[in-house]
Amino acid sequence: IIAGGALGKPETSPVYARMVERAGTTGTVGIIPTASGVADEVGPEYVKDFDGLLKSSGRAGVVPLTTRTAALADASTVAEAIRNYRVLFFTGGDQSRILQVFRNTNPRSAE
């Protein structure tokens, strides 16, 4: 599901309902707060919102990728966490932050 623009709170949006449906019986949703200027606050808020929408066996979690933790984009543990989620939700914010972290534009990558 690709959607943009202020969708409102998860409990009021049919887009969020569709994401929960796509999560299936395992109900795993990974929150990627990379675009947000306040990722450490926004990530846990969305986890709480999605946990409220998921079935009892479901769970949501934060993928710890922010501009401060960009080096983790190369970590195998983060890649594994991403693979284990059925649905990934990118929060709103400055989308160029996503490129900054995921494109690995750090000069050390040229080595």
Q: For residue range 7-44, what is the model confidence (pLDDT) as tens digits?
A: 777 666 888 888 888 898 778 999 999 999 999 999 99
Long-range contacts for 41-50 (Cβ within 8 Å, ≥24 apart)?
A: 42/91, 42/93, 43/91, 46/10, 46/89, 46/91, 49/9, 49/10, 49/11, 49/16, 50/10, 50/16, 50/19, 50/20, 50/89
Structure confidence at residue 105 as a pLDDT band (50, 70, 90) = low
- Bigger pLDDT: 42 or 57? 42
Cα Rg, the chain, nearest whole Å: 14
User: What mean pLDDT do residues 40-57 have?
Assistant: 88
User: What per-residue confidence (pLDDT) applies to 11?
Assistant: 64
